[in-house]
Structure 1
Amino acid sequence: MNELELSAGTVQYVDRGTGPVVVLLHGLLMDASLWDDVIADLSADHRCIAPTLPFGAHRMPMNADLSLPGIARLVVEFLDRLDLEDVVLVGNDTGGAVVQLVLRDDPRRVGRAVLASCEAFDNLPPGLTGRSLALSGKLPPALFGAFMQQLRVKAIRRSPLAFGSLTKRGDATTAGWIRPVLEQPEIRAETVRMLRAVFANRRVLEEAAPELAHFDRPALVVWAADDRVMPLDHGRRLASLLPNAELALIEDSYTLIPLDQPARFAELIRRFA
């Protein structure tokens, strides 16, 4: 794991392979391990970079603006500090929401964009999983920690309130994501602050959507055919908004395509990049 000091603190990130640069962004209560299997495949002929964003599964506290636009600015600074050019910027789940805001606000280092089963338009918070997170974020940090303790139990972790509607096969990975919140009081407090900031403006993606028409570089919208949280119609709408976009569906997957169908996802990115 590499580390990079940004204005708001230290970001840890994976950096593997050589070739065209692919930067991969994860969602809430996740870390860069979302992309492990995709990177194992794609790094054979691409440089794959996956930062762990301050979305609740990070281990180093940050003094950052934790709203979605604030996280998007952090990603732009990350690309600037690594001096990355013409990157393929990929986002899944809330990482895709961040990609949309980067495309709106500062896409100069982005050569191509991939939006994969992500929040869009009015789908914030998304589904029962998102609504339970938004509600839990209103708790004080100590009570939030008690709420999160339930996710130690696999049956609860696999329920629609948690990760059950997000992945068919990735429980071992999701179990690791909850550890920082359970083990580190400072991360627990920061996660509460992040959840409140992320859901403070529930129209942020609706407001950003018309601006996507200005991103005229190639875009790929990848959607899970069995998605229970991100409506397929939103994937179609994103593909129609972006002037140079194509839409691809992935069978036998929920929202977290990198966990459920990593080989197929890597193949699509490789062909696109």
Structure 2
Amino acid sequence: MSLFNIMDSQKTIIFLHGWGMSSKIFRPFYHYFKNDFIVYFLDLPGFGDTPIERPMVLNDYAEFVYKFIQDNNIVDPIIVGHSFGGAVATKLAIIHPEILSKLILVDASAIRQPHHIIKLAKKLADLLKPLMPFGLRKWILKLLNLDKTDYAQIESDELRTTFKKVIHEDLSQYLPSIKSPTLVIWGENDTATPLSEGRLIANLIPNAKLSVIKHTGHFLFLEKPLEFVNEIKKFIVSPTA
């Protein structure tokens, strides 16, 4: 497993990357948090240095994070999840509410309105083009009949099957059960997971606050990193969070 840990304090933040990404996308943020927190950047199974051994669903990914927390004796971590990582973080808060202290969802793909599924997958494939393996992007488009080019079986069967499973998992009915104080951070102009979905998530989670970062898209933390960091820090120290 690839992770990056800064042992400078007692509070712990765990960052979960999105689909097609790895822990590397968040690692530049370590110096923003290193003086106040213990920080972990995880590679989820199938990405970075963590292999995927079988097809997985969101529950499996949540259990992977849960096991990591237990194995490392981490107490009351703050979980930050972007996009697919946000869905994993949401699932973790639903099935293991006792394990985390706060939840931070960043353009999280946690709800699946039927007419949005194809649009979401195509947008993600386009957004991740410079970052994700070429074969996986071609396969996503092929799955949706949006691209006729053979993708040459570059990616694993396990990851292909996993994608087909997780793209249809909708957590909206479970969001009202989340007990953790939650910050929902959204890019104003996100086209992969529209702001309307962020508003819905924030409305469904009882103790949630929505923060909209203006003039940003699905990767708001890369577009406006300082605003991203400031929103997280304000939320963590807030006595009402």
TM-score range normalised by the length of the shorter chain: 0.7 to 0.9
Q: Which residue of 2 aligns with 1:178?
A: 133
Q: Which residue of 2 aligns with 1:116?
A: 106
Q: Which residue of 2 aligns with 1:184?
A: none
Asked whether the equivalents of residues 68 and 198 of structure 1 are also in contact (C-alpha less than 8 Å), the reply is no
Q: Which residue of 1 aligns with 2:64?
A: 74
Pairing partner for 1:230 from 169, 193, 215: 193
Q: What is the RMSD computed on CA atoms of the aligned residues?
A: 2.7
How big is each residue's C-alpha offset from its partner over 1:40-69, in whole Å with a ceiling of 9 and x where there is no partner? 21222111111111243x234242552222
Asked whether the equivalents of residues 118 and 230 of structure 1 are also in contact (C-alpha less than 8 Å), the reply is yes
Q: Aligned pair in 2 of structure 1 residues 188, 50: CA closer, same or farther (>3 Å)?
A: farther
Instruction: Give yes or no for the alignment of 1:196 onto 2:176.
Output: no
Asked whether the equivalents of residues 12 and 76 of structure 2 are also in contact (C-alpha less than 8 Å), the reply is yes
Task: Give 1:17 deviation, angstroms.
Answer: 4.3
Q: Which residue of 1 aligns with 2:213?
A: 250
Asked whether the equivalents of residues 126 and 229 of structure 1 are also in contact (C-alpha less than 8 Å), the reply is no
How big is each residue's C-alpha offset from its partner over 1:196-255, in whole Å with a ceiling of 9 and x where there is no partner? 2232264422xx322221222211000001111111111111111111110001123211
Mapping of residues 20-31 of structure 1, within 5 Å: 20-31=11-22
Asked whether the equivalents of residues 88 and 114 of structure 1 are also in contact (C-alpha less than 8 Å), the reply is yes
1-side partners of 2:227 and 2:212: how far apart? 10
1-side partners of 2:154 and 2:176: how far apart? 38
Q: Aligned pair in 2 of structure 1 residues 39, 201: CA closer, same or farther (>3 Å)?
A: closer
Asked whether the equivalents of residues 15 and 26 of structure 2 are also in contact (C-alpha less than 8 Å), the reply is yes
Asked whether the equivalents of residues 52 and 158 of structure 2 are also in contact (C-alpha less than 8 Å), the reply is no
Asked whether the equivalents of residues 22 and 89 of structure 1 are also in contact (C-alpha less than 8 Å), the reply is yes
1-side partners of 2:34 and 2:63: how far apart? 26
Task: Give 1:37 deviation, angstroms.
Answer: 2.7
Q: Aligned pair in 2 of structure 1 residues 93, 44: CA closer, same or farther (>3 Å)?
A: same
Task: Give 1:189 deviation, angstroms.
Answer: 4.2
Q: Which deviates more from structure 2 when the two are superposed, residues 234-243 or residues 36-45?
A: 36-45
2-side partners of 1:41 and 1:180: how far apart? 34
Q: Aligned pair in 2 of structure 1 residues 259, 132: CA closer, same or farther (>3 Å)?
A: closer
Q: Secondary structure at the match of 1:14?
A: coil
Q: Which residue of 1 aligns with 2:45?
A: 54
1-side partners of 2:205 and 2:194: how far apart? 17
2-side partners of 1:129 and 1:237: how far apart? 16
Q: Aligned pair in 2 of structure 1 residues 132, 261: CA closer, same or farther (>3 Å)?
A: closer
Q: Aligned pair in 2 of structure 1 residues 178, 203: CA closer, same or farther (>3 Å)?
A: closer
Asked whether the equivalents of residues 239 and 246 of structure 1 are also in contact (C-alpha less than 8 Å), the reply is yes
Task: Give 1:104 deviation, angstroms.
Answer: 1.5
Asked whether the equivalents of residues 24 and 50 of structure 1 are also in contact (C-alpha less than 8 Å), the reply is yes
Q: Which deviates more from structure 2 when the two are superposed, residues 107-116 or residues 254-263?
A: 254-263
Asked whether the equivalents of residues 31 and 52 of structure 1 are also in contact (C-alpha less than 8 Å), the reply is yes
Between Structure 1 and Structure 2, how many residues are aligned?
Answer: 219
Q: Percent identity?
A: 21
2-side partners of 1:209 and 1:129: how far apart? 16
Q: Secondary structure at the match of 1:100?
A: helix
Task: Give 1:132 deviation, angstroms.
Answer: 7.6
Larger RCO: 1 or 2 (CA < 8 Å, sep 6+): 1
Mapping of residues 84-163 of structure 1, within 5 Å: 84-122=74-112, 128=119, 130-131=121-122, 161-163=126-128
Q: Aligned pair in 2 of structure 1 residues 37, 253: CA closer, same or farther (>3 Å)?
A: farther
Q: Aligned pair in 2 of structure 1 residues 270, 64: CA closer, same or farther (>3 Å)?
A: farther
Task: Give 1:73 deviation, angstroms.
Answer: 1.1
